[in-house]
Structure 1
Amino acid sequence: AATQRTVLNEYCVTCHNQSLKSGGLAFDNADLAHIDQNAELWEKVVRKLRAGLMPPPGRPRPDPARYDALTVWLENELDHNAAARLNPGATGIHRLNRTEYTRA
């Protein structure tokens, strides 16, 4: 996470900090060790990164290898945390078919 913190500090915190909060985001105090605590936010960040929208045009960008490394790391962390907390949803009511109904 140290490499990712460096990339965020270098390219993201300029706009996404506690004083500016561009887009309602502040990465200067973001806890990268526990991104699962705010997974929806980090999913949005990954979508913006995958679309190439961040950093915006005119702002310095990391080289493609660092950019991809950050994006892949975020995706892997989110996937790993989601796999650890599976939520299959509610169990639906089983409808009986004709044969099951007559035998019940």
Structure 2
Amino acid sequence: IVPHICHQLWLDINHDQPIIDARWPKFDSSLLKSETSLIVVQVNGKLRSKLEVDASISEDELKSMALSDEKVVRFIDGNEIKKIIVIPKKLVNIVV
């Protein structure tokens, strides 16, 4: 019964040919590539912010964006930054 219902629904959504004659969708690998990355920003190993950045961003730009994020500034303000750990396309950890 399901194939018959699917056929009728296909025709009801304004397709002019039966579903049995429809072509399978073509695979397009370019649609799988993301142009942006979600970067987790941690201060002393604790999640403080998330940044959505261009996938081709450099480490220096990523560090400066993380350090200028207002959520992060609250936790590092007045403290000396000992180390900044960057894992490309994943996270930035700021150790104070």
Answer whether TM exceeds 0.5 for this pair: no
Larger radius of gyration: 2
Greater helix share, structure number: 1
**Larger strand fraction of residues:** 2
TM-score (norm 1): 0.23
